[in-house]
Amino acid sequence: MAEAEHVLREKLAAVFARQDFYEACARQDAGAMVAILDAGHVTQGQIAARTGIAQSTLSNYKRGVNTAKFASTFEKLANGLDMPPRLRQALGLSGNAPKAGSSAAVSVLAGLPADTFDLQLLAETVGRNGTPVRRRDLLKLAAQLGATTALDPDIWERLSHALTRPGTVDEALVREMEARSAGFYLLEEIVPAHAVLKVLTAHLREVSTLLAGTAGPDDELRRRLIVAAGESSLLAGWSAAALGDSGAARNLYDTAIKAADEARDPAMTACALAYRSYIPAAKGSHGRARILLAQALDNVSAQTSPATAAWVAARHAEESALLGEKQQALKSWRQAEEAFAVADPDEDRPWAGFLNQDRFDTFRITTYLRTGKFDEAQQLAGAMLARLSPEEGKRAAVIREIIAAAHLARGSAVEAAQVAQGGLAIVRETEFTLWLGRFEEIARALFPRKNQPAIRAYLEEFAMTKRQFAPSAR
């Protein structure tokens, strides 16, 4: 039986009054905070339910496996547990929790003049704070602030100084570029692909010019700029692939690999190879995709980047399953689970932030479907669909397609069509054409039953979506 809310609030109040909990907040020691809450009989399950932080992540904080670094993690703890102003301030947060109905995006942009709003500035701001932005909040802000806006003039002044004085790139400017690069990943899932690619192109031009003004390969600031350039090239490649330009995507991935080589960053190489694996996979070349993923696995481990290792191993399991190699699929899946058990995507590399429990489970569903575990896949798909938020963005398109495939595997054609139709709407809105081939596979499977109204509606919507993006196909 669930504990009464007033009882839990009394336990939290007792913990919040403890001096050692205040000191843990002041140190930003999430592990100690969880341990003290445990000692106060507030379970990790209760913390997870209130904060949205996975119980496995909380356990890893307590055991010292992972360390929380981002402000967004402490925001989730403070807001979810309703910490008093004294503790929020100790954590370095604003004294008052956001009011009901307020948004992360609004709090991130608080105090910024309306005429400074654009995607680059927003990316830098959310990247610096690790703050998620909801789709509806972003659209609301865009409508309020308009499209004809410029960057903060202070940013241009600092960039101009760096560009006209080679060698004067400083710590503050490098941090700016790093924050912006990280922020693009937070925005990518909810911003149309053409907008992401346009702003990333401008950002890469700036970083490239800055790199020309830095010293040799032993310069640490140069190395960090190269990492920022590589991370941005990865995302630009992903956006180009989403728009159907696989040639540009490959070039950008190759650029990221060159950056990874110079920066001695094998995890970045692994990401580039894993991103690239989606291009042949979308065309049904699962053997080529798995070769790329095997190379990616050689470049990353659960020690260097657990979330990247979990993602790449899960992709390898998925492609092995699609090739009909059951034993290899299950072996790779066990490797993925081991890495995911110690992963904290929010505290890992920017590209790994997408790998929450739902997204990890989509790989599990595909692997289970292709290895004969139909009941497990169907049960998992049903639970996931029930909790899927309409604000998940491109991630929701992926999840809906995989859930539709699960329905198809069990012979539930109408349910598959209904779920997939919702995914198509997201594809159109976000321009996520990289996944259109997956929806086409569902359309082909459903075609023999086209006389059923729900299936006919899906087939008509798929045809319309395909026509919409036909000019950008490469």
Residues 255, 120 within the same domain:
yes
pLDDT for position 377:
82
- Indicate whether 237 pLDDT > 60: yes
If one counts every other C-beta atom within 10 angstroms of the C-beta of residue 157, the result is 10
106-115, 286-295, 369-378: range with highest mean pLDDT: 286-295
Residues 74 and 156 in one domain: no
Q: Which whole number is the average pLDDT over 110-139?
A: 51
What is the predicted pLDDT for the residue at 130? 55
Whether residue 276 sits in one domain with residue 255: no
DSSP 142-200: HHHH-S-----HHHHHHHHHHHHSTT---HHHHHHHHHHHHHHHHHHTTS-HHHHHHHH
User: pLDDT confidence of 126, banded at 50, 70, 90?
Assistant: low
> What is the domain range of residue 282?
265-348
pLDDT tens-place string over residues 396-451: 788 888 888 888 877 889 988 988 888 888 888 777 777 788 898 899 999 999 89
Q: Of 208, 238, 259, which marks where a domain is finished?
A: 259
Instruction: Report in angstroms the alpha-carbon separations of 334 from 101, 238, 296.
Output: 41, 27, 17
- Contact in structure between 408 and 252 (CB atoms under 8 Å): no
- CA-angle at 219, arms to 217 and 224, nearest 5°: 95
Q: Is residue 68 part of a domain?
A: yes
Same domain? 394 vs 455: yes
Q: How many Å separate Cα 162 from the centre of its chain?
A: 31
Shared domain for 274 and 167, answered yes or no, is: no
Q: Tell me whether residue 357 is in a domain.
A: no
| Boundary-marking domain end, from 210, 229, 259 | 259
Question: Which residue in 211, 214, 249, 251 sits closest to 228, CA to CA?
Answer: 211
Looking at residue 152, what is its pLDDT?
37
* 60 in a structural domain: yes
Query: By mean pLDDT, which of 79-88, 130-139, 284-293 is the weakest?
Result: 130-139
Within this chain, do residues 230 and 276 fall inside the same structural domain, yes or no? no
Cα atoms in the 13 Å half-sphere on the side-chain side of 279: 24
The CA distances from residue 2 to 5, 43, 45, 76, in Å, are 9, 12, 11, 22
The pLDDT, as a whole number, for residue 141 is 45
Domain boundary among 313, 348, 383: 348
Q: Is residue 360 part of a domain?
A: no
> From the CA atom positions of the chain, what is the Rg in Å?
23
Least confident of 85-99, 122-136, 268-282, 392-406: 122-136
Collapsing DSSP to helix, strand or coil, 238 comes out as helix
How much is the average pLDDT of 196-211? 81
| Cβ proximity of 461 and 424 under 8 Å | yes
- Look over the chain and give the mean of its residue pLDDT values, rounded to a whole number: 79
Average pLDDT over residues 117-139: 56
Of 88, 111, 107, 87, nearest to 98 by C-alpha is 107
Predicted pLDDT at 292? 97
Both 289 and 325 in a single domain?
yes
Task: Please tell me the predicted confidence (pLDDT) of residue 12.
Answer: 93
Q: Contact 445/417 with Cβ under 8 angstroms?
A: no
- In order of 46, 388, 474, the CA distances from 454 in angstroms are 40, 21, 31
- Do 251 and 271 lie in one domain? The reply is no
pLDDT above 70 (res 94): no
Range of lowest pLDDT (211-215, 297-301, 421-425)? 211-215
Answer yes or no: is 205 within a domain.
Answer: yes
Tokens of 256: 């990221």
**Residue that the structure tokens 């997956």 belong to:** 438
Q: Is residue 354 part of a domain?
A: no
pLDDT band of residue 472 (cuts 50, 70, 90) is very low
The answer as to whether 107 is a domain residue is no
pLDDT of residue 277: 95
Q: Answer with the residue of higher pLDDT: 445 or 166.
A: 445
Q: What is the pLDDT of residues 75-84, one digit of tens each?
A: 888 888 989 9
What mean pLDDT do residues 113-136 have? 53
Number of domains in the chain: 4
Q: Are residues 429 and 470 in the same domain?
A: yes
Q: What is the pLDDT of residues 357-387, one digit of tens each?
A: 888 988 998 898 888 888 888 788 778 777 7
pLDDT at 145 over 60: no
Together in a domain, 240 and 270: no
Confidence of residue 18 (pLDDT cuts 50, 70, 90): very high
pLDDT value at residue 107: 39
Q: Is residue 100 part of a domain?
A: no
Integer angstrom CA distances of residue 463 from 216, 241, 452, 458: 53, 20, 16, 9
Q: How far apart are CA 282 and CA 434, in angstroms?
A: 7
Residues 291 and 234 in one domain: no
Secondary structure (DSSP) of 113-142: -GGG-SHHHHHHHHHHHT----HHHHHHHH
d(CA 16, CA 33): 10
Here the CATH number for the domain that contains residue 276 is 1.25.40
Confirm whether pTM is higher than 0.85: no
Average pLDDT for residues 256-263, to the nearest whole number? 90
Encode pLDDT of 302-333 as tens digits: 888 999 999 999 999 999 998 999 999 999 99
Q: In whole angstroms, what is the distance from residue 467 CA to residue 474 CA?
A: 14
Confidence band for 222, pLDDT divided at 50, 70 and 90: confident
Neighbours of 22 (CB within 10 A): 15
Residue 248 sits in the same domain as residue 289: no
